[in-house]
Structure 1
Amino acid sequence: MSSLPITLSAMDTEVRVSLCPSCDRSISCTTTVFPAAEDFQPPQDHSSEAHGTDDASPLSRARRAKHQACAIKSEIARLKSLTKELKAHHRSLVELSKQQLALVAPVQQLPVELLHEIFLHACADEEIMLRTIPYTILSAMSFSRVCRTWRNIALNDSRLWTFSTIIDLSALASAYSRPRGSWIGWDEVSTFKRLVSLYLSRSGCRPLGSLNISASYNEPALKAAVDEEPKLLPPSIFKHFHRFRDISLTNSVIKWAELRVRASQESLVKSVKIVGHNEPDMSTVLFSGAAHLTSWSQYVDDFVPVNLPLSQLTRIVTGWISYIPAFTALTQCRALKRLELSLYREFTMEEDLCEPEILELPHLVSFRLCVDNPCILDDILDILDTPCLKKLKLSWAPYSGVDARLTDDFSDWEWPKDEFSRFMDETKCKLESFTLEDLCIPPGVEVELRKQLPQSTRIVVEENSGWSDEEDLDLDDLMSEISKSDSESA
């Protein structure tokens, strides 16, 4: 048992004795403290020095010695009582420690393989953000601080450190300009950068989760972030860039990455998302050698990606793009299963192509097409060949958000029933759902669609699709109303 600190005050004052070194619990006593050393003088006969002294002096010293002996005896009794109480407190602490050890013991006896699986489930969706404070809530960090056994498991299993991270460039740049004491500032940024570097080093060479480096184009701090990138981002983020499976970037970050990512490294990325505005020098060379890339999403208008492995993509989502460049790129995407396309302007096959071609997508299952001019639908339905298509959605929206013309402004346009009928007959696809959104389709055409499509196909006309003041209209309900009206008329 370690020695406990004892604080002694002046004579005849309070004495406080601490019971536990790790808490503030103590005992107070008021008594006479130990006698001073100078009071212990033996009552001897100093006859050679007694000339001129009082004969009662030895007797007085004897009385005082007796009084001091009584005080020492009382102090010994008090210390014995205090010792008894300390022993009782020690026994209670021993019992408490036994209970704690009894709880920990079964966990320590679990097989290492089982602990590995438990830790993997806990760390499956580990995500590091600038605002993940306190960082002790991260599972891998917590496991490495429980005991030596758990720490060895956590440090030796790189799977626990495969993480996802979200880096907001604008927040990072703003943090450096904020004064100390702000809820997010230099200290938080430094901790975040060290934590990301720690996870990167402990994850070994395993594939990582998602990397989202975003920025707000409305904040002036973004321009400063472009120049101060080496200070803002963790220094090792681009060194391990090729290990992330899902990457979401702004177009400005792509420029940084192209200068810092080594081309010789094999990229493990499977999904890429690009957000921003189109710029003259914007390119996708960074992902030209991505052998595992299957999903490409670009929310950038008027941008046609080049040097991409288009033949292996199974999912494409684009912003507004011109018809001809889109058609040229899609002819190489024969593995597509999901396509979300936004086309603008009107280009006819006779004007732009020497001879008609077929857009053959043999594995396409879901197709969403948005146009700013419904006349484009005629050309698409005439060249589209999708035998496995199950979900089709055709919609209209103003290009670049400028509501210059509404669908009812195209008075010379009619639903291409011949092209659609030919498309259904030649592709022999079995549509499960067919949606029309914001297209002025008269009710008579919708009745024809119901007859052309299989009975199992769910046809939905969403609001503003020629029904200005009504909610979404299901054509099954429409057919029921028409049949009911016909029977009443008869």
Structure 2
Amino acid sequence: MTRIPRAWTRTAMSICTNCAAPISARPLTLESLRARLDELELLLKALNTERNLLLAESRAVTYPVLTLPNEITTQIFLHCVEDAKRPDGHSRPIPADSPLLLTRVCRSWRAIALNTPALWSQVAVRNGLSPEILNMWLQHATPLPMDLYILLNNPELSSPLVDLCLAHAKYWRNVSFCIPSIEYLRLKDAFDHPELDLPLLSEVKFSFTHASSADRWSDAILAIRRAPALKKVEVLTPPKTIPITVDWSQLTHLRHLTGVRIGTCLEILAQCLALEELVLETYCDEDLDKASIVSLYRDTPIILPHLRQFSCLLQNAQSPLLYLTLPALVDLTTRYNGVEATTTILSAFFRRSAPPLRRIQLSVDGFPVDALLQTLDVLPSSVETAEFSLGRNENSLSQLLGALAIESSTGWGFRAIPALRKLCLHLQMGPIEPSQYEALLALLRVRPRVVHVEAHHRLRVVGPDWGISKPPKAVVDAFREMGVSRGLRVKVRVLGMMSRHLKVWNFGA
């Protein structure tokens, strides 16, 4: 029998058949692991204790903004939304602006923002807006009245957004539609729905754009019913028609900014006896069935007793001024495409209406001197603010200033606009020449009641050499002297393309 050496036996006995580790080393490893675990447990307890202390300290810290009453925080949020609004007066649904930004600060602010409908009551619906975000926005706005500015030009993306807006129609207050004309019939069908009530709607604007030249306008009439609070309507559509109908008798403001037949216009105005502001563009009506209507209102003009502001075209025989009597008118803006009958139309209108006119804006470009004097002569003596639009005729400004400086033949006051206090000039002929500044100074010297002058001239060509120069020093010094002596204020503003301000100078008081 072979004898195994003792060393071999001890070595063999120390081998574990499960893990092949020496048995003598195994107890030592387990003990070290237990000790290490004990150390880690002690460290974990220490870290937990330190964490609890830090949490207690952080809870003890007072954040003043979080201690404010919810009502005050809400008012602060409302101011944030006002500052973030676009120039059109509506909030943009983008995460970088309020109120969406306020929901991302903390849970407390998020809860306050989402439970404040006034933060969500105004929204601009534009291309690229997600229907999910719009739906969330409108849901948080209820039940407050909503102001919607719907500006869409992509027919493929506009339908779901318009549908979401229509689903909240009973909460509309002010709504502006600028949408593709292809959406018109869908909009008409929605307004024709018997369950559509608009109890809060007070102002609505319609503007339909053509996505392509193939789009055709529908003759269907969009009827706005069950809108007892509706007061203001603005329509921008293709000419020859007003494609909507409302309860005209309840309107106080009506604006139609494209050409409409004078006969159609008069039929509507005869129902608008509560109007306070009216903006119209009309054109010649050649329909035989409208000719009798035009003749009727020429013999018996429509009386609008509450109308205070009116803007229209002086289009010779088709001017609305021929058919209206406006005894409360204080603000008149007129434009023209011919000067033959301007004086006759204005004279007859002022004689018939005898309005307490305070402001008039009149285009006088291309007027012969005699026609200009006759037109200024018929303006009511109550006018205090006069705005004149002049085109590219370089002599128009000098003629106008000279006409305003002519004294009355009786020796009392001036021949035209004796109560003039504010003079505004809209020029299309480029910068004012030094000689024209001298004519303006001559007018101001003889008419001390004029204390406010504005001259806005537009440059048609914008480039490196705009030809913009400050008025001569002698003119500036004269303006400043009048500013000290009688409080005269003078503003000269130079506009470029797209009404961009290039230069603005203020002189006097």
TM-score by length of 2: 0.60
CA contact (8 A) 1:194 1:234 kept: no
Give the alignment partner of residue 364 of structure 1, picking from 307, 323, 340: 307
In the alignment, the residues of structure 2 paired with residue 349 and residue 254 of structure 1 have an alpha-carbon distance, to the nearest angstrom, of: 30
The match for 1:462 among 381, 386, 389 is 389
In 1, distance between residues paired with 2:361 and 2:6? 124
**Match in the other structure for 1:143:** 103
AA at the equivalent of 1:289? R
CA deviation vs aligned residue, 1:346-392 (integer Å, no higher than 9, x gap): 67988942461212122222211125x43334xx4343211222221
**Alpha carbons 1:295, 1:315 under 8 Å: kept:** yes
Which residue number corresponds to residue 160 of structure 1? 119
**Any conservation in 1 of the 2:362–2:387 contact (CA below 8 Å)?**
yes
2:220–2:243: 8 Å Cα contact kept in structure 1? no
- Secondary structure class of the residue paired with 1:269: coil
* Paired position in structure 1 for 2:222: 284
- Percentage of matched positions with identical amino acids: 16
- Partner residue, 1:442: 368
Give the Å deviation of 1:246.
Answer: 2.2
Q: Which AA in structure 2 matches 1:264? A: E
1:214 corresponds to? 152
Pairing 1:89-168 to 2, within 5 Å after superposition: 98=57, 102-104=61-63, 106-123=64-81, 135=95, 137-139=97-99, 142-143=102-103, 146-147=106-107, 149-168=108-127
**Residue 41 of structure 1 aligns with which residue?**
none
Structure 2 alignment gaps of length 5 or more:
15-23, 210-215, 406-438, 444-509
Give the Å deviation of 1:310. Answer: 0.9
Q: Is 1:271 the counterpart of 2:203 in the alignment? A: yes
Tell me how far 1:94 sits from its aligned partner: 6.1
Shift of 1:427: 2.3
In 1, distance between residues paired with 2:387 and 2:295?
34
What stretches of structure 1 of length at least 5 have no aligned partner? Answer: 1-49, 172-188, 217-221, 398-406, 486-490
Residues 126 and 138, structure 1, Cα contact 8 Å, conserved in 2: yes
Cα–Cα, structure 1 residues 96 and 444, in superposed 2: closer, same or farther, change >3 Å? farther
Query: 1: CA distance between counterparts of 2:218 and 2:123?
Result: 31
Is 1:253–2:189 an aligned residue pair? no
Q: Is the 8 A contact 1:460 1:473 kept in 2?
A: no
Matching of residue 428 in structure 1 with residue 354 in structure 2 = yes
Distance 1:153 1:396, change over 3 A: same
Task: Sort the Cα spacing of 1:212 and 1:350 in 2 relative to 1 into closer, same or farther, 3 A.
Answer: closer
Q: For structure 1, which segment, 334-343 or 449-458, has the greater mean C-alpha deviation from structure 2 after superposition?
A: 449-458
Question: Which residue of structure 2 lines up, in the alignment, with residue 310 of structure 1?
Answer: 248
Partners of 1:143 and 1:436 in 2: CA distance:
51
SS in 1 for 2:305: coil
Q: Which of the pair has more CA radius of gyration?
A: 1
Matches of residues 159-198 of structure 1 in structure 2 within 5 Å?
159-168=118-127, 192-198=130-136
Aligned to 1:185: none
Partner-residue secondary structure (3-state), 2:61: helix
* Residues 88 and 51 of structure 1: CA distance in aligned 2, closer, same or farther (over 3 Å): same
- 1:139 is displaced (CA, Å) by 1.8
Give 1:308 deviation, angstroms.
0.9
* CA shift in 2, pair 1:471/1:246, >3 Å: farther
SS at match of 1:119: helix
Q: Deviation at 1:468?
A: 2.0
Report the more deviating stretch, 468-477 or 421-430: 468-477
Contact 1:462 1:472 in 2 (8 A): no
Q: Which amino acid in structure 2 is aligned with residue 433 of structure 1?
A: R
How far residue 138 of structure 1 moved from its aligned partner, in angstroms, is 3.9
Classify 1:446/1:460 alpha carbon distance in 2 versus 1 (closer, same or farther; 3 Å).
farther
What residue in structure 2 maps to residue 400 of structure 1?
A: none
How many pairs were matched up? 380
Q: What's the TM-score, normalizing by structure 1?
A: 0.62
Over 3 Å counting, the alpha-carbon distance change for 1:165 and 1:134 in structure 2 is closer
Deviations 1:289-325 (A, max 9, x none): 2212211111111112453111121222211011111
For 2:277 and 2:265, the matched residues in 1 are separated by 15
SS in structure 1 at match of 2:205 = strand
Distance 1:197 1:471, change over 3 A: farther
Q: Structure 1 stretch 270-279 or stretch 88-97: which is displaced more?
A: 88-97
Q: Is the 8 A contact 1:248 1:274 kept in 2?
A: yes
Taking structure 1 as reference, are residues 460 and 94 closer, same or farther at Cα in structure 2, changes over 3 Å only? same
The question of whether the paired residues in 1 share the 8 Å contact of 2:120 and 2:141 is answered with yes
CA distance, structure 1, for counterparts of residue 263 and residue 163 of structure 2: 42
Contact 1:366 1:389 in 2 (8 A): yes
**The residue matched to 1:375 in structure 2 has which SS?**
helix
In the other structure, the counterpart of 1:332 is 271
Range with greater deviation from structure 2 (312-321 or 440-449): 440-449
Does structure 2 retain, via aligned residues, the 8 Å contact 1:460–1:472?
Answer: no
Contact 2:366 2:396 in 1 (8 A): no
Letter in 2 for 1:246: N
